[in-house]
């Protein structure tokens, strides 16, 4: 019998963000740029893997952030703020003992591997971009008495949220009291939480709690799986 793979992941949806250039191209300062072509090239170079960008939460420091992901892409070429990966051996339903038998950790894009029983976090990305005004009355020599506007786009930084141990409980039980073949049900409760890696531990976290119930009908042999849970509607 093949194992059952269950993956939950949380991330900032692409639909909430925009390409970096769109934050600047319709502003008056952008029209006055002294290095417009170079600034456009720099901004477009940070549209990595078709990500979109959001102004960094609660910040006036010109930082933009992303951990966008395309839904249902399983090839690993994406960023995920928070994920848990469960591998269920259906033959063990009713007899699970250790969370290490269930929760796995997939490898990161850089080839490193996290610990089993830990949440998984992909890389979030941060870039600083702004338009700088140089007043004409400063000490910089120039041909005319006008302000200069220069677009500045700093190096991309990437980091992942802390991959902390999952809070897991496992309970085996007998759903049908008339069954004399032992436990037929395993209930797994797990919670996870991850913040914005460039502002931990002060950033608001994505949090979710899940309950996975697996029932093995010992007579008819079907497997019944029920999943329920709650999350904090981040970043609402």
| Residue corresponding to tokens 């477009």 | 44
pLDDT in tens, 6-33: 888 887 778 888 899 999 999 999 999 9
The answer to whether residue 2 scores a pLDDT higher than 90 is no
pTM: 0.77
Question: What tokens does 123 get?
Answer: 């890389």
pLDDT of residue 75: 42
In this predicted structure, what is the pLDDT of residue 205?
Answer: 83
| Average pLDDT of span 151-176 | 89
């Amino acid at each position: 019998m093949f194992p059952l793979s269950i993956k939950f992941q949380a991330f900032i949806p692409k639909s909430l963000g925009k390409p970096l250039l769109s934050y600047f191209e319709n502003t008056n300062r952008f029209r006055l740029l002294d290095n417009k072509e170079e600034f456009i090239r720099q901004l477009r170079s940070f549209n990595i893997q078709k990500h979109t960008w959001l102004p960094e939460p609660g910040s006036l420091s010109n930082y933009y952030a992303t951990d966008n992901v395309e839904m249902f892409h399983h090839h690993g070429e994406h960023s995920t703020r928070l994920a848990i990966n469960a591998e269920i051996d259906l033959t063990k339903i009713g007899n699970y003992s250790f969370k290490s038998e269930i929760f796995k950790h997939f490898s990161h894009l850089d080839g490193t591997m996290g610990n089993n029983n830990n949440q998984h976090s992909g890389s979030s990305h941060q870039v600083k971009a702004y338009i700088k005004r140089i007043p004409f009355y400063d000490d910089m020599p120039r041909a005319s008495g006008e302000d200069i506007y220069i677009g500045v786009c700093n190096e991309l930084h990437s980091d992942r949220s802390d991959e902390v141990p999952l809070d897991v409980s496992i309970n085996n039980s007998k759903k049908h009291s008339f069954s004399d073949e032992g436990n037929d049900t395993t209930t797994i409760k797990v919670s996870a939480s991850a913040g914005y890696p460039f502002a931990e531990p002060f950033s608001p976290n994505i949090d979710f709690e899940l309950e996975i119930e697996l029932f093995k009908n010992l007579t008819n042999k079907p497997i019944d799986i029920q999943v329920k849970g709650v999350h904090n509607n981040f970043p609402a």
